[in-house]
Amino acid sequence: MSNIGFIGLGTIGKPMAKNLIRAGHKLVVYDKYAKFDDILALGAEGAASCKELASRSEIIITMLPSPPHVKEAILGVNGVIEGIKKGAVVIDMSSGSPALSGELCAALEGKKAAFLDAPVSGGEPQAIDGSLAIMAGGDKAVFDKMKPILEKMGSPVILAGDVGAGNVVKLANQMIVALNIAAVSEAFTLAARAGVKPQLVFEAIKGGLAGSAVMNAKLPAILDGDFKPGFRIELHIRDLQNALDAAHSLNVPLPLTASIMEILQALKADGFSARDHSAIIRYYEKLAKIEVRK
């Protein structure tokens, strides 16, 4: 089995790493902020820096909060690039930007190493059971070699195109999810104000064209007033900012994405940053002065 270096052992990264260990891979792990004694207890070895981790690994996976964190881990002082071996592969599974993916790929090619961007869709439960959707960008030969490893962490595992394509797909996913939650929020706020029970609206429309995986997943928690984080608003803000930045660099207007971004910013100002993105409905409830509950 491959020697894998895993950087980023947070809410999603830690169960991903555990699944690789259970699959029989030898792991070297590092996280600047999170504790990972439980990973070491499963047989992983710790590293003192990203540089050291890279020097001990054939494959390096990053699962970090934001593009600046990824850039620091790979290109920064004591970063992966300072210790990487010729022929190694770096797989960035963070939610990043297509532009950064291109920059990382070019830098790593200078070290005779390969790069894939392979962000994921799904929350902690999917990370735990290995069912994250993985969308990759990069060279097909590299992807084909890495696919069996990626399949230990998720399914489906899809090659979307060249380097950066994985992040483009992830950004498209995040745009659609945010806008879908906003559409559900608007519709059910109207229903509640009109005196129609939201649960009955849900039962009536979920099997038709208006039905969606987003509504099925998020509305029951909304109706219970349960906004415990599955995917935090602050993280969705990060992803939509990446989407807007990418779109602006390509001269693509995203008026709806810009609108939902402002709604998320309003929720952030109201103290909802750490709540689940289903709390988008709180914005509409505040405007309509009504709560949408069972």
Range of the domain at 225: 168-288
Would residue 270 count as lying in a domain?
A: yes
Q: Which two tokens stand for residue 75?
A: 């290109």
Both 174 and 158 in one domain: the answer is no
Both 136 and 173 in one domain: the answer is no
CATH at residue 21: 3.40.50.720
For the stretch 14-69, pLDDT in tens is 999 999 999 999 999 999 988 899 999 999 999 999 999 999 999 999 999 999 99
H helical segments located in the chain:
13-22, 37-41, 50-55, 67-75, 80-83, 98-109, 124-129, 140-150, 165-193, 198-205, 213-223, 233-249, 255-269, 280-288
For the stretch 205-251, pLDDT in tens is 999 999 999 999 999 999 999 999 989 999 999 999 999 999 999 99
Would residue 294 count as lying in a domain?
A: no
- Is the CB of residue 51 less than 8 Å from the CB of residue 101? no
Any idea which residues carry the catalytic annotation?
A: 170
Which of 162, 181, 201 is where one domain is finished? 162
Both 158 and 173 in one domain: the answer is no
